[in-house]
Structure formats: structure tokens, C-alpha cells
Amino acid sequence: MIRNEVFSCFVFYAVLLVIKMYTIAIITGQVRLRKKAFANPEDALRHGGLQFHREDPYVERCRRAHLNDLENILPFLFLGAIYSLTGPSLTVARLHFLVFFLARVLHSLAYLLALRAPTRSLAYTAAQVPCVSMAVQILMSVASFA
């Protein structure tokens, strides 16, 4: 499969997106330390006391950014992998993957930097377009077997 050009192109963007998600997790951890806002009492005790077992608005923002990635990037990993195997042209497939990748990077930046609305919503919508397109193309290519 890795010799399939479209699949390799998909893997490239998929791995970059997974790394992007890891980066948000690392940022969340760093913000927890800087703001002294820990999710678990044992962590709070290690860093000064139980009073630091608390929520922080910016930590919650990071968590929402990560959760939204889970809601959107996990389906992309499924759709992109199957779509790659339906025989699309490399140029069209790359466009799907690139639009999704750039839109999700913008979504993360808009969330973490609290960019002015509707930047984040537009990024979210732009990322949905290639996903819907891939879903429709997958369904069309398997419909005759259903």
C-alpha cells in the first residue's frame, strides 16, 4: 500500500496531523504547569498543594482544541485511508488532503490564539469540505456492493 502514490500522500498529511495533535497535548501540559492548574490531586500535591487541583480557562481552551481535533481528525484518518484505495487521481487527492491539513492547522491556531470569530468556524467548515467529498466518493465507489 505504501507504494500507492495516493496512499503515501495521505500518510504524509495524516502523520503531520497526528504530530499536530501531540503538540496540542504538550502545550496543554505546559500551560497546566505555568498556570498551576492540575487535573488530578496527586499532580497538584507534587506542585505546591491541593489548591492547585483546579480548572483554568486557557487549559480548558487547549482541551477543547484537542477534543475538536479528535472529533475531526480521527474521521479523516478513516475516510482518507479508504478514499486513497478507491483510485482517485493524485492531484485531486492531494488537494483534498492539503485543504484538510491547512484548515485544521488554522483551526488549532485560531483556537489557541483566540483569533477573532469567525476564523475558527471558517477553518472548521473548510476542513469539512474535503471530508464530505471523500465520504461521497467512497459511497459511490462501494454502492454497487451494498
Contacting positions for ligand GSH (CB under 6 A): 64, 68, 71, 120-121, 124
| 13 neighbors 105 (Cβ within 8 angstroms) | no
- HSE toward the beta carbon, residue 43, CA cutoff 13 A: 11
Q: Compute the least distance from the CB of residue 127 to ligand GSH, in Å.
A: 9
**What does the alpha-carbon distance between residue 110 and residue 119 come to, in Å, rounded to a whole number?**
6
Q: Which is nearer to ligand GSH, 7 or 124 (CB)?
A: 124
Q: Compute the least distance from the CB of residue 19 to ligand GSH, in Å.
A: 20
Q: Which is nearer to ligand GSH, 5 or 71 (CB)?
A: 71
Q: Compute the least distance from the CB of residue 90 to ligand GSH, in Å.
A: 30
Helices (H) and strands (E) in the chain, counts: 5, 0
Q: Compute the least distance from the CB of residue 53 to ligand GSH, in Å.
A: 23
Q: Which is nearer to ligand GSH, 89 or 121 (CB)?
A: 121
| 6 neighbors 88 (Cβ within 8 angstroms) | yes
